[in-house]
Amino acid sequence: MPNDRFFPAAGSLSRRRLLTGTVAAAGLLAAPRLGRADTGILKVGDQRASIRSILEASGQLKDVPYTVKFADFPAAAPLLETLNAGAVDVGFAGDAPHSFALSNGLPAKIVAAGRSDPACIGILARTDSPIQSVADLKGRSIATGRGSIGHYMVVAALTAHGLTVNDVKLTFLQPAEAKLAFANGTVDAWSVWTLYIAQEVVAGTGRVLVNGRGLVNNNAFISAADTAIATKRPIVQDFVARVAAARLWALDHAEDYARIWADLVKVTPEVAAYAFNLERFRPVAVDDAVVADLQKTADFYTTLGVIQKPFQAAQHVDRSFPLAPAVLADSAARAG
C-alpha cells in the first residue's frame, strides 16, 4: 500500500474535542508510564475510521507522547495485507479475517480484543426484492468478501436453514464493488457488516434478511506486528489502553461519537448512530474464551477449504498487554 495513505492524528482535534471523561484515567491504569525514550510513531491500520473517530471523540488522542498515524481501509483484507507488508504497526479487524490472515503467515499477534452485538452482521436484500427469507436465497447470488465475517455469516446462515454454499452463487467482492453490484441488481443479496448495513437500511435501499445473533461470535481484535511488539511495546500497550477507554466512553456518549465518526467517513450522523447502536462494541480480555472463539472460527474456515493449514489459535495471541481490572469490570457490567 502506498505510504500516502497515512495521515497523522496531530492537529485533528482542534474542532473535535468533546468530553474527555473520567474513563480516560481508568483506561490507562494498565499501561506503563511513557517517558521521552518511548516517543516515536505508531502506524495504525483502521477500518472506516472506527478507531480514529472513537479516540478523537473521547479525547484519548489529547497529549499522546508519540505520533499516531492512521491508514484507513474499507475492509479487513487490505488492512491485514498492509500489516503483513510491515507498512503499519497495528491493525484492527474481525476474528474471521484474522484467522485467514494468521493462517497464511501474518507476522503479528493479537494483543487486544472486543465483542460486539452479532446483530451488526447480516445478509441484506434490496427493499424491492421478492426475497423474504434465507430459504429464498436458494439459486440466488450473494456478494461478500472472501475470508470476511460476511463470508462466515453466509455459510452459517445457509447451514442453519438446511442449505449449503452449493445452493447459492457466492460472488467475492470488496465492499465498494459489492455495494455497486447490490444496487444495480448484479447480485441478489449482500452479506456485510455495521456501517454498510446502516447505509442501506437508513437509505431504505436494503433490509436485513437475517443477522448474526446465534450464528457468529463477532469478536474483533487489535493485532500488533511482531516487530512493533519487539521495538514499540510501551507505545502499543498505551494505545491498546486508550482504545479500550475510548470504547467505554462511547457507550455513554453515542450521539457525540456518531457525529465525529460521520464526519470522518462522510455519512450522515443518522447512519453513524444506527451503525454504532447495531454494534455496541466493548473491550474484553484476550483470554481463553477469546482464543476458543478464534479457534472455532478457524476450524469453520478449514472445513470450507478457506484455511488449508493447521491452525492453533493460542499461538497467535500475546496476552502480555492486559487491560486494567476496572476497565474489564466496567465492560462486563455492560454485557447485558
Residue 188 sits in a domain whose CATH number is 3.40.190.10
Burial of 253 (0-12, 13-18, 19+ CB in 10 A): middle
- CA dist., res. 12 & res. 15, Å (int): 7
Give the domain-ending residue among 211, 226, 254: 211
Question: 9 and 136, same structural domain?
Answer: no
Burial readout 311-328 (b: 16 or more C-beta within 10 A, e: otherwise): bebeebbbeebbbbebbb
Burial readout 280-290 (b: 16 or more C-beta within 10 A, e: otherwise): bbbbbbbeeeb
Q: What percent of the chain has pLDDT over 70?
A: 88
Question: 251 and 308, same structural domain?
Answer: yes
Q: How far apart are the first and last CA of the chain?
A: 40
- Which pTM value belongs to this model? 0.82
In this prediction, residue 266 carries a pLDDT of 92
CB 123 within 8 A of CB 190: yes
Question: 303 and 245, same structural domain?
Answer: yes
The residue ranking higher by pLDDT, 89 or 24, is: 89
Amino acid at 322: P
Question: Which one, of 215, 275, 282, 277, lies nearest residue 247 by Cα?
Answer: 282
The CB density around residue 11, as the number of other CB atoms within 10 Å, is 6
Instruction: Calculate mean pLDDT across residues 313-326.
Output: 95
Q: Which of 128-137, 164-173, 189-198, 306-315 has the weakest average pLDDT?
A: 306-315
Question: 274 and 301, same structural domain?
Answer: yes
pLDDT above 70: residue 16: no
Give the domain-ending residue among 211, 235, 251: 211
Per-residue pLDDT tens digits for 67-84 = 999 999 988 999 999 999
CB 142 within 8 A of CB 190: yes
Distances (CA, A) of 187 to 133, 168, 200: 16, 11, 15
Instruction: Calculate mean pLDDT across residues 110-124.
Output: 96
Question: 243 and 198, same structural domain?
Answer: no
Instruction: Calculate mean pLDDT across residues 57-67.
Output: 93
Q: What percent of the chain has pLDDT over 90?
A: 77
Cell of 77: 483484507
Question: 222 and 112, same structural domain?
Answer: yes
Question: 44 and 149, same structural domain?
Answer: no
CB 156 within 8 A of CB 167: no
Cell of 53: 473517530
Domain that holds residue 91: 3-117+218-333
In this prediction, residue 301 carries a pLDDT of 86
Instruction: Calculate mean pLDDT across residues 18-40.
Output: 44
Give the domain-ending residue among 211, 240, 265: 211
Bridging pattern class, strands 67-73 and 41-47: parallel
- Report the mean per-residue pLDDT for the chain: 88
In this prediction, residue 1 carries a pLDDT of 35
Question: 12 and 53, same structural domain?
Answer: yes
- CA dist., res. 78 & res. 69, Å (int): 17
Question: 225 and 85, same structural domain?
Answer: yes
8 band by pLDDT with thresholds 50, 70 and 90? low
Number of domains composing the chain: 2
Instruction: Calculate mean pLDDT across residues 48-55.
Output: 92
pLDDT above 60: residue 27: no
Helices (H), the chain: 23-27, 50-58, 76-84, 95-103, 149-160, 175-184, 194-203, 226-231, 233-252, 254-265, 269-279, 288-304, 325-333
In this prediction, residue 264 carries a pLDDT of 87
